Amino acid sequence: MYTSLLDSDVLAGSNNRRPASLFIGMRGQLPVVVIVGGGFGGLAAAKALKRARANVILIDRTNHHLFQPLLYQVATSVLTPGQIGSPIRNILRKQKNTTVLMGEVTRVETAEQCVVVSDADRAEVRLPYDYLVLATGATHSYFGHDEFKKHAPGLKTLADAVAIRNRILSAFELAEAEEDPRLHRDLLTFVLVGAGPTGVEMASAISVLVRGALRSEYRRIDPTSARIVLIDQSPRVLGSFSEDLSMAAKERLTKLGVEVLNGQSVEHIDEAGVIVGGERIASHTVIWTAGVKPSPAAKWLNAPADRAGRVRVEPDLRVPGHREIFVVGDTASLDQNGKPLPGVAQVAMQQGRYAGRLIARQIAGKPPLRPFRYFDKGNMAVVGKGYAVLQSGRVHVSGLLAWMVWAAIHLQFLATSSLRISVFLQWVWTYLTGQRGSRLIVDHHGPEPAVTPDEPGTQLVNSLGGGFRVQ
């Protein structure tokens, strides 16, 4: 993958750094801008550098840009993975100054101005930079209880969404095959830990799924009897929204049959369910929709960090003491009006765009930009079919109108026009018919179904979370 780069003696462990000369003979002596992360922040930075006289190198551990706000729709079968992700190199195909590399950055050598990258082919490749933009996002946080992870997967990547979809659909398959009706209840109990936007959207989407597409397809179980429990230690759902919208969302959830347990924290999670307030809720499917923690960028840079571990950046998004390094998005910490900016896509996009433009201006010898300022366009969350809550300044709206604004904005921010068309058509189809984009249980890494040779005629059907015998 790094063939052209690896041929250079600046790479592969050499300390003989020649930052601006990486592409000598290929594109002339241009500054090298390395962007780590092809999410909202990194992609915006790369696009802002489109006309810069620079060699831009964007590195991501995956080959795709992911529209995370719609992950819950993949997890609940509305959309397919391919409808919310696009290959980064396809998005940037017309940007001739930009090279896209798939690899995992494992550290930054600030003194040498190198990022260290590994991929399946090569480990610890050194890639020099003149400017560096770190946009490596965040991952789940189990608040010191990493043992919960095994039983309560989180939702951050496409693989997470497909794994959760497998789990939800498998629960119905297992219940249908289970002859003891007393076990149906546990199999059809879905617990979501965390009632922020992701928890609320997931809980309501599961409710719509069981009442719609699944309703008439089973013979031994009634999918509409599924129990959906949403737990949060804060006193209300959607804590970052105003109180009236939070109340409206809770009312809507209750109408959808979701049990909301506010002011309660989860004490324990295991394969049999969760313990909340000393009581066990037996469940086959627990989903973690609570906290996130930033990427280890602050550790890579040995830079000052906030309590969550995000890099404390200067008002122009640079890292203190490093004029050539910028950190943007979920992995950066910046206060505005005395409050830290939230970890949302708009902040990441606006910061990425700002960092890219600032670098482009510096390369062109133009004066710098004014300090970064976030323009808050508002918050939205979906609560079931045709219903959303929207808060933008003093405007607070809930219901169908808010959902239509939500749909329009989400379509607009999908990465390519083909995704916009595909998602729009899918939504119209699902809205009208209740039919879903993909209800397949696809266990990419699971064991093959096996036949035990000493028991002829017995087939062991394997499924996520256990197997059952069909005689």
Ligand X SMILES: Cc1cc2nc3c(=O)[nH]c(=O)nc-3n(C[C@H](O)[C@H](O)[C@H](O)COP(=O)(O)OP(=O)(O)OC[C@H]3O[C@@H](n4cnc5c(N)ncnc54)[C@H](O)[C@@H]3O)c2cc1C
Q: Write out the catalytic residue numbers.
A: 201
What is the distance between the alpha carbons of residues 12 and 126, in angstroms, rounded to a whole number? 6
Does position 68 interact with ligand X (CB under 6 A)? The reply is: yes
- Least distance (Å) from ligand X to the CB of residue 87? 12
- Least distance (Å) from ligand X to the CB of residue 443? 21
Residues in 413-452 at the binding interface with ligand X, rule: CB under 6 A: none
Amino acid at 96: K
Torsion, CA 173, CA 176, CA 180, CA 185, rounded to 10: 70
Stretch that binds ligand X, among 39-47, 311-319, 423-431, 453-461 (CB under 6 A): 39-47
What is the distance between the alpha carbons of residues 16 and 295, in angstroms, rounded to a whole number? 29
Stretch that binds ligand X, among 24-32, 280-288, 343-351, 447-455 (CB under 6 A): 343-351
Residues in 107-166 at the binding interface with ligand X, rule: CB under 6 A: 135-137, 155-156
**Sign of the Cα pseudo-torsion (260, 263, 266, 267, in order):** negative
Which CB sits closer to ligand X, 74 or 226?
Answer: 74
- Least distance (Å) from ligand X to the CB of residue 366? 25
Does position 384 interact with ligand X (CB under 6 A)? The reply is: no
Stretch that binds ligand X, among 53-61, 168-176, 316-324, 392-400 (CB under 6 A): 53-61
Q: Which residue is closest to ligand X by CB?
A: 39
Which CB sits closer to ligand X, 66 or 174?
Answer: 66
Q: What are phi and psi of 254, to 5 degrees?
A: -65, -40
Answer yes or no: are the C-beta atoms of 314 and 322 closer than 8 Å: no
What is the distance between the alpha carbons of residues 114 and 112, in angstroms, rounded to a whole number? 6
> Which of 32, 35, 49, 71 is the binder for ligand X (CB under 6 A)?
71
Q: Which of 202, 215, 204 is nearest to 165 (CA)?
A: 202
> Which of 41, 128, 199, 356 is the binder for ligand X (CB under 6 A)?
41
Answer yes or no: are the C-beta atoms of 298 and 311 closer than 8 Å: yes
Burial of 428 (0-12, 13-18, 19+ CB in 10 A): exposed
Answer yes or no: are the C-beta atoms of 107 and 255 closer than 8 Å: no
> Which of 20, 50, 95, 104 is the binder for ligand X (CB under 6 A)?
104
> Which of 31, 39, 199, 384 is the binder for ligand X (CB under 6 A)?
39
- Least distance (Å) from ligand X to the CB of residue 294? 9
> Which of 19, 31, 37, 153 is the binder for ligand X (CB under 6 A)?
37
- Cα–Cα separations (whole angstroms), residue 457 to 173, 452, 460, 462, 469: 21, 9, 10, 16, 10
Tokens 């300022």 sit on residue:
373
For Cα atoms 60, 61, 66, give the angle at the middle one, nearest 5 degrees.
70
- Least distance (Å) from ligand X to the CB of residue 178? 30
Q: Which residues contact 82 (CB under 8 A, 6 or more apart)?
A: none
Does position 344 interact with ligand X (CB under 6 A)? The reply is: yes
Stretch that binds ligand X, among 59-67, 186-194, 215-223, 274-282 (CB under 6 A): 59-67
Residues in 190-219 at the binding interface with ligand X, rule: CB under 6 A: 197-198
Q: What DSSP string describes 322-348?
A: EEEEEE-GGGEE-EETTEEPPS-HHHH
Q: Report residue 184 as tokens.
A: 């149906």
Stretch that binds ligand X, among 23-31, 57-65, 141-149, 359-367 (CB under 6 A): 57-65
Stretch that binds ligand X, among 34-42, 48-56, 276-284, 319-327 (CB under 6 A): 34-42
Residues in 348-367 at the binding interface with ligand X, rule: CB under 6 A: 348
Residues in 308-327 at the binding interface with ligand X, rule: CB under 6 A: none
- Least distance (Å) from ligand X to the CB of residue 412? 13
What is the distance between the alpha carbons of residues 1 and 430, in angstroms, rounded to a whole number? 40
Does position 58 interact with ligand X (CB under 6 A)? The reply is: no
What is the distance between the alpha carbons of residues 64 and 161, in angstroms, rounded to a whole number? 15
- Least distance (Å) from ligand X to the CB of residue 74? 10
Answer yes or no: are the C-beta atoms of 165 and 77 closer than 8 Å: yes
Does position 69 interact with ligand X (CB under 6 A)? The reply is: yes
- DSSP 3-state of 48: helix
For Cα atoms 342, 346, 352, give the angle at the middle one, nearest 5 degrees.
100
- Cα–Cα separations (whole angstroms), residue 192 to 206, 360, 465, 466: 10, 44, 18, 21
- Least distance (Å) from ligand X to the CB of residue 198? 4
Does position 61 interact with ligand X (CB under 6 A)? The reply is: yes
**What is the per-residue binding string for ligand X in 281-300, x denoting contact by CB under 6 A?**
--------------x-----
Helix residue ranges per DSSP H, 303-374? 345-363
- Least distance (Å) from ligand X to the CB of residue 185? 28
> Which of 5, 34, 35, 36 is the binder for ligand X (CB under 6 A)?
36
Q: What is the DSSP letter of 242?
A: -
The residues that touch ligand X, with contacts defined as CB under 6 A, are: 36-42, 59-62, 68-69, 71-72, 104-105, 135-137, 155-156, 197-198, 295, 329-331, 343-346, 348
